[in-house]
């Protein structure tokens, strides 16, 4: 049994380290966009109960340096119970290119956000569709710089999302921010490496034709989450369109960390709930191996500290994990100019093992709350 565990640790460590390095080196294959064409653009904002955030989001879009005669903004109000629609109407009355679509209660068995985005794409007239969450905001060059990546063969472009430092009010916010940088950097690295796996719908863009080529969310519209990475994987799997990623600071989208641990766990359970519906078998197997790797570390690390001469391998495995993770974090924090977060690396590593072990199981067994539903 002892040698079996050692062998299992060896293979799981190798799989994990190889994949993280794959993402890391993929970051160095990302290139600036070369497109100079001015496309017509539709920006979609799905919103539910966002009265405290929607104005900041819309103001950031009104400040875009992209030509307004080629731009439309569509807010899809997802059955809000607050003043979201009323606030958007004040904007649409002043700016004709801002449109409000109001949706009633979502039918059972349908993802509310995917329904909102599907309706938004069907209403859009722009050749390129951008999506941004209502609690996020963009820099003035967001659209114009993302568009540079839409060369003729490119069907989708993904950008980075980061937390605003001024809104990080606690130690938990800091480790949450660093952990999020690692996750998003890995996603961008997977695109650079030619094997796209995850994206963030708060900074997402695609050709309307590309969306129609894969029939939108058809076949996956019952899965609550996954409006971003499931669509990304579907396009990668089913079409010849190329997928690109932007790491230019001008293309970053900004948001705020979730308020506390309960909200964080609920968010990550929602994200984890879609993992076992991924159609890319290699990705599912990798996620299972990560969960098993973390489980073995959780069980064996305390034992190894107690008996280091008899069972040092968990310490070696954890050290290898930390090394490859730190390479990714070094690059990620440099990209988003958040080197100040590196000092939280070790505690974030411990936190990551604990929360992933929990949400990995909870994503299958526990119901989550999303926007009051």
Residue 226: the pLDDT is 73
Question: For residue 228, what is the domain's CATH number?
Answer: 3.90.550.10
pLDDT band at 8 (very low <50, low <70, confident <90, very high): confident
Q: Which domain holds residue 144?
A: 33-258
- Same domain (yes/no): 111, 201: yes
Residues 6 or more apart whose CB falls under 8 angstroms from that of 114 comprise 217, 220, 221, 223, 226, 227
In terms of domains, do 223 and 132 share one? yes
Distances from the Cα of 327 to the Cαs of 22, 174, 235, 305, 330, in angstroms? Answer: 11, 19, 29, 25, 5
Segment 5-26 mean pLDDT: 92
Output 301 or 154, whichever has higher pLDDT.
154
Q: Residue 367: pLDDT band by 50, 70, 90 thresholds?
A: low
Q: Work out the average pLDDT over 204-227.
A: 88
- Residue 28 phi/psi, 5-degree rounding, is -85, -5
Mean pLDDT of 180-188: 95
| Mean pLDDT in residue range 266-295 | 83
Same domain flag for 231 and 251: yes
Buried b (16+ CB within 10 A) or exposed e, 204-213: bbbbbebbeb
Band (pLDDT 50/70/90 cuts) for residue 370 is: low
Looking at the fold, whether 116 and 135 belong to one and the same domain comes out as: yes
Summarised one tens digit per residue, pLDDT across range 314-361 is 888 999 999 999 999 999 999 999 999 999 999 999 999 999 998 877
Residue of higher predicted confidence among 308 and 12: 12
Same domain, 8 and 127: no
Whether 270 maps to a domain, the answer reads: no
Query: 209 and 118 in one domain?
Result: yes
Query: According to the model, what pLDDT value does residue 365 have?
Result: 62
pLDDT tens string 68-109: 999 999 999 999 999 999 999 999 999 999 999 999 998 887
Residue 363 pLDDT class (50, 70, 90 cuts)? low
Which pLDDT value is given to residue 366? 61
94 and 199 part of one domain: yes
């Amino acid at each position: 049994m002892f040698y079996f565990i050692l062998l299992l640790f060896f293979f799981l460590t190798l799989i994990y380290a190889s994949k993280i390095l794959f993402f890391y080196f993929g970051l160095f294959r990302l290139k600036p966009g070369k497109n100079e064409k001015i496309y017509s653009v539709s920006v979609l904002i799905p919103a539910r109960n966002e009265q405290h955030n929607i104005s900041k989001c819309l103001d950031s879009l009104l400040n875009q340096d992209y030509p307004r005669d080629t731009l439309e903004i569509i807010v899809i109000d997802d059955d809000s119970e607050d003043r979201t629609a009323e606030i958007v109407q004040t904007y649409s009355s002043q700016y004709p290119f801002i449109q409000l679509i109001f949706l009633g209660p979502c039918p059972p068995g349908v993802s509310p956000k995917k329904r909102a985005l599907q309706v938004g794409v069907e209403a859009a007239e722009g050749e390129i569709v951008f999506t941004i969450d209502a609690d996020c905001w963009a820099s003035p060059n967001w659209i114009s710089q993302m568009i540079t990546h839409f060369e003729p063969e490119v069907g989708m472009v993904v950008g980075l999302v980061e937390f605003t430092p001024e809104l990080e009010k606690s130690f938990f916010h800091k480790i949450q921010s660093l952990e999020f940088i690692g996750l998003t950097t890995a996603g961008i690295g997977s695109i650079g490496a030619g094997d796209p796996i995850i994206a963030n719908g708060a900074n997402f863009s695609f050709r309307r034709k590309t969306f129609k080529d894969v029939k939108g969310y058809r076949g996956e519209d019952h899965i609550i989450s996954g409006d971003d990475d499931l669509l990304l994987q579907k396009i990668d799997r089913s079409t010849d369109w190329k997928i690109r990623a932007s790491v230019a600071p001008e293309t970053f989208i900004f948001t705020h960390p979730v308020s506390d641990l309960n909200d964080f766990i609920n968010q990550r359970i929602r994200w984890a709930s879609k993992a076992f519906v991924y159609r890319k078998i290699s990705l599912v197997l990798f996620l299972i191996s990560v969960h098993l790797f973390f489980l073995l570390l959780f069980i064996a690390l305390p034992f190894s500290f107690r008996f280091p001469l008899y069972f040092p391998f968990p310490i070696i495995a954890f050290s290898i994990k930390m090394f490859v993770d730190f390479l990714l974090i070094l690059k990620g924090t440099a990209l988003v100019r958040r080197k100040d977060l590196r000092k939280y690396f070790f505690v974030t590593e411990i936190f990551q093992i604990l929360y992933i072990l929990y949400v990995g199981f909870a994503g299958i067994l526990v119901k989550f709350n999303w926007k009051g539903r």
